[in-house]
Structure formats: structure tokens, C-alpha cells
Amino acid sequence: MDLKFLDFEQPIAELEAKIDALRFVGADSDINISEEIDRLTKKRDSVTRGIFASLTPWQVVQLARHPQRPDTLYYIEQCFTDFQELHGDRMFAEDRSLICGLARLEGRPVALIGHEKGRDTKERIERNYGMTRPEGYRKALRIMRLAEKFSLPVITLIDTKGAYPGVGAEERGQSEAIARNLFVMAGLRTPIVSVVIGEGGSGGALAIGVADRMLMLQYSIYSVISPEGCASILWKTAEKAEAAAEAMGVTADRLQKLGLVDDVIAEPLGGAHRDPKAMAETLKNALIQSLADLDALDADTLVRKRREKLAGYGVFKEG
């Protein structure tokens, strides 16, 4: 698959094109050009490092939404084994924007919940671009309760623009569905590890993101409202999304500095999509480590600590 380059990656794209051209020539000629390829590859890497060393929040937003960014389906395949998808909320419908099921992580059974945006147009429509409706959140809730009953840890992978703003979603109680998940997750007597793998959009993300360990991939974003939404309300134009992304502090490193996420998982050079396998490996190790840390706590302590953490969110002055 051809790599897609973002605007700010153009210098990398140019070098990549040169390398490709040389490889093409090299394949059917006697001239030894491997030295030149080596030189260009090194140059490409250093240019990439340079660009990625000082990404603006808006550039990170674009990376988090990259069409080739590894998604929940990819990580299910790479980090887990024996995945069995479980469908439906038992009340209304199956919501394909949120994948739920049972799997094994290094042999250990876990409950898995993750947003899936879809990879091509047809899939994106089927999966509603990863925007979940109430039935999706209620399915997730059912799986979380199942996990609690059988003492399985819950792993959630977050990648959504936000909860779906549609007529049916409102009619079926979008607010109630999200609120109920927050309420139940705050007291769930089994470990919860959440990872923002792409976009963490608002209540739609939080509805599966109340966790004992809140992790973010390095170039993922997490925010109260999409930069476009924020811009169109506060700046009166969605074109100010870049400024909004800056102002809200949506990036993993900023949020970690603010103490709102527990850990940031480093991505391969150039972002997760440049080396998905390596990314999956790092993610898998982070998940195993997080669960191992939480295993030490009994259910009472786990819930107490989770609640203490939730109660600690916020900045205000007393008196």
C-alpha cells in the first residue's frame, strides 16, 4: 500500500520518492546504487526526526486521523489471539462502530471494546465513521458487566470523533447511554485499561474511557470537543480549528503534563502507520504491563483508587 503523506510531510515524501525511483532502477541494472539509497534513507530519517520533533497540535490532529493509521481491528489481530466478537445490546440493535468481544492477551482472557471507523468508504458507512449510537454504548456496558461477573479485565481502544449526533440516537437516549457507562465504569469491580489509539472525541470517547490506567498513543488526541466544533462555537468558524487545537491542548504529551493521562506510548518514527507492527508490539507490551500493575489490587482497592483518581480531576482555588 502506498503511504499517504500529510502536507507537512512533503520533504519526507520527496525523499521517499527518490529512494523508490532508485530502487526501481537498481532492480534492473548493474550499477551499484545501494550506497546512494543508504545515504537517502539516512537523510529521510533525519528529516523525519526533525519534522516530528516539533509537531504543532494541529499536525498531531492530522496524524491521529491519518487514513492509514492502525485501527482497533488491526490491533485485535496483532495484539490479541482467539478474538470472538460479541454483538448487540439485547434491546435494539447491533452497532458496528463499536467492536466488543472476548480475546486473549498473552494467553490471558480479557474483554475488549474498541471504536472502529472503517478502512474504506463502504466500511466507513457500515461503521458510521466510528461514531457510536446508544445501542453501541449499551452493548459495551453489557460486555463490561460480563467481564465484571467473570473477573476479566476490560481493555478499551478509543478512536472516535464523538458520539453520533443523529435523530435516532437522540430518540433512544444518547445522553442516558453515555451517562450510564460513566456511572457503571466508576464502580466496575474489575480492572479497566483504556488507550486512545487515534481520536478521543468528547463524551463518545469518555463513554468507554473511565479507567484505572488511561493511556494515549504518542500522536493520538483527546479533547472535550473536536477542534472544528470548538472553533465554530468560540471563533464562529470551523476554519480556526488549528487555533482551537492549540488552545485546548489536545495532544498526549500536553495532557500527560497536566496529569490527565497516566502514560504516553511512544510511536514509531513518522507515526504508527509507518510501522504498524512495531506499534502493535509496543501497545501489547504496555497493555500487559498495565494489567500486571493492576493485578496487585483487590477489587475494593481498585474501585477506591479509581474513584479517588476521578475525584481529583479539576483545577480550582479554594477560598
Least distance (Å) between residue 183 CB and another protein: 5
Backbone φ and ψ of 284, nearest 5°: -60, -45
Backbone φ and ψ of 28, nearest 5°: -125, 45
Return the SS3 of 108.
strand
Q: How far apart are CA 94 and CA 47, in angstroms?
A: 46
Residues 6+ apart with CB under 8 A from 245: 57, 58, 60, 61, 221, 223, 227
The answer to whether 130 contacts another protein (rule: CB under 8 A) is no
Return the SS3 of 8.
helix
Out of 53, 171, 296, 300, which residue is the one contacting another protein (CB under 8 A)?
A: 171
Amino acid at 251: T
Instruction: Look at the chain and count its residues.
Output: 319
Least distance (Å) between residue 38 CB and another protein: 43
The answer to whether 318 contacts another protein (rule: CB under 8 A) is yes
| Number of Cβ within a 10 Å radius of residue 120 | 9
Chain-centre distance for alpha carbon 122: 21
Out of 169, 215, 279, 280, which residue is the one contacting another protein (CB under 8 A)?
A: 169
The answer to whether 170 contacts another protein (rule: CB under 8 A) is yes
Residues 177-196: x/- map of binding to another protein (CB under 8 A)? -xxx-xxxxxx---------
Stretch that binds another protein, among 8-16, 93-101, 117-125, 165-173 (CB under 8 A): 165-173
Stretch that binds another protein, among 29-37, 144-152, 241-249, 280-288 (CB under 8 A): 241-249
Q: Which three cell numbers stand for residue 299?
A: 477489587
Q: How far apart are CA 97 and CA 126, in angstroms?
A: 8
The answer to whether 235 contacts another protein (rule: CB under 8 A) is yes
The answer to whether 56 contacts another protein (rule: CB under 8 A) is no
Least distance (Å) between residue 260 CB and another protein: 5
Stretch that binds another protein, among 80-88, 232-240, 282-290, 291-299 (CB under 8 A): 232-240
Alpha-carbon distances of 276 from 68, 157, 221, 273, rounded to whole Å: 9, 15, 18, 5
Least distance (Å) between residue 27 CB and another protein: 49
Interface residues with another protein (CB under 8 A)? 163-167, 169-176, 178-180, 182-187, 202-203, 206-207, 209-210, 222-225, 229-230, 233-236, 240, 243-244, 247-250, 255, 258, 260, 306-307, 310-311, 313-319
